[in-house]
Amino acid sequence: MDALTRYQTKGHLQVEGWLWPGAMELLISLAGLQRALGVRGGIGEIGVHHGRLFILLHLLSGPDELSAAWDLFEDQDQNLDASGRGDYARLEANLKAHGCDLGRIQLVKANSAELDGGQVREVLGGGARLFSVDGGHTADLTYGDLRTASSALAEGGILILDDFYNEQWPGVAEGAQRFLADHPERLFPVAIGGNKVFFTHSAEWARRYQEALAAVGPRAHKISELAGTPVLVFRFPPARGPAGRLLRRLRRLLG
Ligand SMILES: C[S@@+](CC[C@H](N)C(=O)[O-])C[C@H]1O[C@@H](n2cnc3c(N)ncnc32)[C@H](O)[C@@H]1O
């Protein structure tokens, strides 16, 4: 079994963090489509905590692609809304434990409010193919992180935004809606599922991904609308609560 399959089936459960099975499934499908469509570029995340999503993102990268994570790490006094708690040592240990190539990874201690797309491109050696925004969850930080990430996307790149529809973090929806209204040409939704919204940088790329996802992507979906453009909404089995626990136990027993 390769490192990616091991991590997807069991490994991610050993890393503290937030990543629902539906989001993994969508992400893996989109990364597969990127390979098929010849999309190339770096891998990045703002807000990495102990690496639960970042490890998966990195395991989806090619041998010549760089990955980087930006987080406050030990500067938690700057974590305005206590959204997670970055930990450099745990992250590094988790990366090693799950088969990541540390030679292609940079961990950058930074407050994302001071980060811009140019700095991201410099660290990644070019644009990002997959970039997750999951740092501070206030409206202003979300707005700023979307500006940074959207200006760092490679041709065909995908931006993954966490918690857009999570009622615990209303700042994410506020910041994202404001960003989408202020910059209608910067981000186009592709899909919603597993507590994440997946965007790309043009209507043409969004259509391409949606057609392919609808044909080969994971299970049930409907077509809806976000910020005036079409989006595929996927339905996955519950990841939490008694049903989610039962499913996880079954997966462990079977796997
Ligand atoms: C919700 S957690 C990230 C979860 C992670 N993506 C996962 O896969 O489990 C949020 C992270 O953002 C970091 N963070 C919060 N505010 C930040 C800021 N202003 N700049 C950079 N990182 C920040 C926290 O330290 C924490 O690690």
Above 90 in pLDDT, residue 225? yes
- The CB of 134 under 6 Å from ligand 1? The reply is yes
Above 50 in pLDDT, residue 254? no
CA of 228 to the centre of ligand 1 (A): 29
Closest CA to 135 of 144, 127, 126: 144
- The CB of 161 under 6 Å from ligand 1? The reply is no
- Alpha carbon of 215 to those of 27, 142, 230: distances in Å? 15, 32, 16
Residue-by-residue DSSP string for 73-87: TT-GGG-TT------
Confidence of residue 240 (pLDDT cuts 50, 70, 90): low
Average pLDDT, the chain: 93
Domains of the chain: 3-254 (3.40.50.150)
Average pLDDT on 129-136 reads 98
Above 50 in pLDDT, residue 28? yes
- The CB of 163 under 6 Å from ligand 1? The reply is no
Q: Candidates 72, 74, 87: which one to mutate for ligand 1, based on the most atoms within 8 Å of Cβ?
A: 72
Average pLDDT on 225-246 reads 78
Closest CA to 70 of 16, 106, 102, 117: 106
- The CB of 52 under 6 Å from ligand 1? The reply is yes
Average pLDDT on 5-19 reads 96
* Residue 204 or 243, more confident: 204
pLDDT at 241: 52
- Alpha carbon of 23 to those of 62, 107, 149: distances in Å? 20, 23, 19
Q: Does residue 231 contact residue 192 with C-beta atoms inside 8 Å?
A: yes
pLDDT at 255: 42
Q: Per-residue pLDDT tens for 31-84?
A: 999 999 999 999 999 999 999 999 999 999 999 999 999 999 999 999 999 999
* Residue 182 or 255, more confident: 182
Average pLDDT on 209-224 reads 85
Confidence of residue 1 (pLDDT cuts 50, 70, 90): confident
Q: Candidates 13, 19, 71: which one to mutate for ligand 1, based on the most atoms within 8 Å of Cβ?
A: 71
Task: Tell me which DSSP letter residue 200 carries.
Answer: E
Above 50 in pLDDT, residue 229? yes
- The CB of 156 under 6 Å from ligand 1? The reply is no
Above 60 in pLDDT, residue 253? no
CA of 35 to the centre of ligand 1 (A): 28
Count other Cβ atoms within 10 Å, centred on residue 204. Answer: 11
Q: Candidates 57, 134, 148, 196: which one to mutate for ligand 1, based on the most atoms within 8 Å of Cβ?
A: 134
- The CB of 112 under 6 Å from ligand 1? The reply is yes
CA of 76 to the centre of ligand 1 (A): 10
Q: Candidates 79, 116, 159: which one to mutate for ligand 1, based on the most atoms within 8 Å of Cβ?
A: 79
Q: Give me the percent of the chain exceeding a pLDDT of 90.
A: 88
Say what the pTM is: 0.93
